[in-house]
Amino acid sequence: MRENDMVEKEEIFSKVLRAGRRTYFFDVRATKADDYYITITESKKFTEEDGSFHFKKHKIYLYKEDFAAFAEILDEMTSYVLNHKGEEVISERHQKDFKKEYIDDRDTSEKTSPTNNFTDIDFDDI
């Protein structure tokens, strides 16, 4: 394989979306036949205990014969999520007061945390 074949073509048009530890790169590139396609790269930063860091990258290649179907499904999926869960982010990372809820086995209609399921034991009873 020639060295040229291993190197991706230079970007024709690019956009970057920074989202916390993740960065998304949207790049228009050219094929050998000089047709265009899109690459979408997710780059996520991971920090080690010693303070060093590394990035993990995931890339997809999107060719124009798939653009319409891809856009349709992406629109359908994002609409589904927003219609069912709204735009507010719900997670431990984004909400400091987020608490997971657990169902008490005795009464499935009441949700409790694991500390509420603890039975206070007096050692004199043993």
pLDDT at 54 (0 to 100): 87
pTM score above 0.85: no
Alpha helix (H) residue ranges in 14-109: 67-85
Residue 35: both structure tokens together: 């047709």
DSSP-derived 3-state class of residue 41: strand
Q: How far is CA 118 from the centre of its chain?
A: 35
DSSP-derived 3-state class of residue 57: strand
* Strand spans (E) along 1-126: 13-19, 22-30, 36-47, 53-63, 102-103, 111-112
pLDDT by residue, tens only, the chain of 126 residues? 455 444 555 679 999 999 988 999 999 999 999 999 999 999 998 888 898 888 899 999 999 999 999 999 999 999 999 999 998 888 766 555 656 554 444 454 444 444 444 445 554 544
pLDDT at 9 (0 to 100): 58
pLDDT at 53 (0 to 100): 85
Q: For the chain, how big is the Rg over CA atoms in Å?
A: 24
pLDDT at 46 (0 to 100): 86
Measured CA to CA, the distance from residue 32 to residue 77 in angstroms comes to: 33
pLDDT at 94 (0 to 100): 56
